[in-house]
């Protein structure tokens, strides 16, 4: 069973306070902190998310646990793609884009190696779960 004692805002807080020493490695996978701009509020929002790598790109899966709607952070990225991520102690400016079908075919195995539950999430929702590629600027 995964350990969810470090989750949500607390995950972000501890990750930032320790430069990722607490929070980067989480339940057998790797997490980063995504800084988005609220599509409605314009406020900065931060999310601890599992990530993978595809060459220079960082990869995220907009799964929302297989929910029928996209996560808010994904909608924020669609509205405002120039954002930042924190990986360990480094804050990196990136530009986000939704992966194409070919991108998803290429990176899905990378991401399911990070978090095997993604396959179940996709199987249990009618929506095509997007992958997001974050390219450092």
Domains, the chain, with CATH or none:
8-136 (2.30.110.10)
Two tokens, residue 4: 């969810």
Q: What CA–CA distance (Å, rounded) separates 107 from 52?
A: 8
Task: Give CA–CA dist 90/85, Å, rounded.
Answer: 8
- What integer pLDDT is reported at residue 4 of this predicted model? 78
Query: How far is Cα 12 from Cα 6, in angstroms, rounded to an integer?
Result: 9
Q: Model confidence over 87-107: pLDDT tens digits?
A: 999 999 999 999 999 999 999
Local confidence band at 5 (pLDDT 50, 70, 90 cut-offs): confident
pLDDT at site 28: 94
Please write the tens of the pLDDT for every residue from 18-42: 999 999 999 999 999 999 999 999 9
């Amino acid at each position: 069973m995964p350990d969810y004692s470090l989750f949500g805002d607390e995950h972000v807080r501890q990750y930032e306070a320790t430069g990722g020493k607490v929070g980067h490695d989480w339940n057998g996978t790797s997490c980063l902190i995504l800084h988005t701009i609220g599509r409605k509020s314009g406020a900065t929002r931060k999310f601890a998310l599992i990530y993978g790598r595809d060459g220079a790109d960082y990869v995220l899966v907009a799964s929302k646990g297989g929910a029928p709607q996209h996560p808010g952070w994904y909608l924020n990225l669609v509205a405002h793609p120039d954002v930042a991520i924190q990986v360990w102690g480094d804050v990196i400016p990136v530009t986000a884009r939704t992966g194409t079908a070919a991108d998803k075919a290429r990176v899905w195995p990378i991401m399911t190696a990070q978090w095997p539950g993604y396959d179940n999430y996709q199987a249990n929702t009618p929506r095509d779960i997007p992958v997001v590629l974050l390219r450092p600027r």
